[in-house]
Amino acid sequence: MNIGFIGLGVMGASMAGHLLAAGHRLGITTRTASKAQGLLDQGAHWYPTPAALVTDCEVVFTIVGYPQDVEAVYFGSDGLMSALQAGQILVDMTTSSPELAIRIATATEERLALALDAPVSGGDKGAREAALSIMVGGDAKAFETIKPLFDLMGKNIVYQGPAGSGQHCKLCNQIAIASNMLGVCEALAYAKRSGLDPHLVLSSISTGAAGSWSLSNLAPRILDGDFEPGFFIKHFIKDMKLAVESAQSLGFDAPGLSLALKQYQSAAQQGLENAGTQALFRVYTKQED
């Protein structure tokens, strides 16, 4: 297929690379040209704007930073909607708002095209290993059409329902992670304070009832002093704010989420906004530094 891809960040570059490696023609555009060089060297094609890109594509994937970036890519003066053609499929894999996903779906339908909201979970490791969890909302026929493309990027691909459903599911994912990360960081900080060897503690608790993806994948990074981003704190804060806003609109109280947001905002205030989410550990141990 002729595929377009917008957003070559920590996860997007690997995801796009899997599509290219499978033999698809890949068109790309990014705000920072240097991020595209690796894929261009492998045979990808450069386009100056989203509008130029979509003219040559059957499907366009986007995974950018913030909802305002999604707005610009889709609805800007040289955005995807300005050149969208009947029959094309747009897939936004950014974690964004369910309301924006519905707006995109409505706009594509008006142009006789189709849209999916398909945010992902799994971080940089999942993207590199094509093992992402992909949560999909939108047109069911479009999902069936491009399911083979999702299979190139992930291992757990679930169609959740109509437009916005993928985003709602991703917010559930982030709510679960938020409180879990508090527990992971608190447990390791407690182990350190009590005089235990945190590595031995991790070997005991990671395979028991306390086990989780974060404990198995991020706790070892914490103990190695590796706070590089598989997922940026600043982007996690964005996701949690989206979840808080969505919960409020539903009349739902989420105290665990609110506490996690407060703790991560404290981390950002300490200069950790560009670190990985596991750097929350530094907030708990700062008093010992």
Catalytically active residues, by annotation: 170
147 vs 98, 140, 155, 168, CA distance in Å? 21, 10, 11, 20
Torsion 35-41-45-46 (CA) sign: positive
Q: Write out the two tokens for 133.
A: 């969890």
Name the DSSP class of 269: I
Helices and strands: H and E segment counts in the chain: 14, 9
- Please spell the DSSP secondary structure of 124-191, one letter per residue: HHHHHTT-EEEEEEE-HHHHHHHHHHHHTTEEEEEEEESTTHHHHHHHHHHHHHHHHHHHHHHHHHHH
In the chain the first and final C-alpha atoms are separated, in Å, by: 54
